[in-house]
Amino acid sequence: MERMKLPATALSIDTAINAKSSVLIAAKENEEANGEEYFAKVEINASFPGGEKALQKYLKNKLSDSMPSTFPKVKGVVKYGFNISREGLPNKFILLKGIEESVDEYVMQILSKMPKWTPALQNGPTVEQYREVEIYLNIH
């Protein structure tokens, strides 16, 4: 992970992006569970435009450029899970680990404005994929 170098009065940010193995697509030929099919793995994971390093750069820039000066001094990890739809749109965000409500909500706002991803592929068609992102913040 890269560490962003900012003045001591700003913040430090590290990110980690994880692709989880659970992927959801509409059932056609395989076993159904409420009309949906689950795969243990996908052939090609969903990807942010430019790859993981581009996502890290995007998050660092967006988080540091518009961070409110009224935020409390906190240090810790904010972790969100979300889906990348068949169309490549990030959605269904869920907070998995937070550090402070206003900071958690701010991170959610940034994540929800991410650009369209390249969707995951399984056996040819695009499929929905669950992803997680951990953001290590040190606001001082």
Strand segments, DSSP code E, in the chain are 11-26, 36-39, 74-84, 90-97, 120-121, 126-139
Sign of CA dihedral 32, 38, 39, 44: positive
Averaged pLDDT score across all residues of the chain:
78
Establish if 1 belongs to a structural domain: no
Our CA dihedral for 89, 1, 22, 83, rounded to 10 degrees, sits at -20
Whole-model pTM over 0.85: no
Q: Identify the domain containing residue 115 by its residue range.
A: 11-139
The reported pLDDT for the residue numbered 64 is 85
User: In the structure, what pLDDT confidence band is assigned to residue 15 with cuts at 50, 70 and 90?
Assistant: low
Establish if 102 belongs to a structural domain: yes
**Residue the block writes with tokens 């402070």:** 100
Q: How many domains does the chain have?
A: 1
Q: How many residues does the structure list for the chain?
A: 140
Region 51-69 average pLDDT: 88
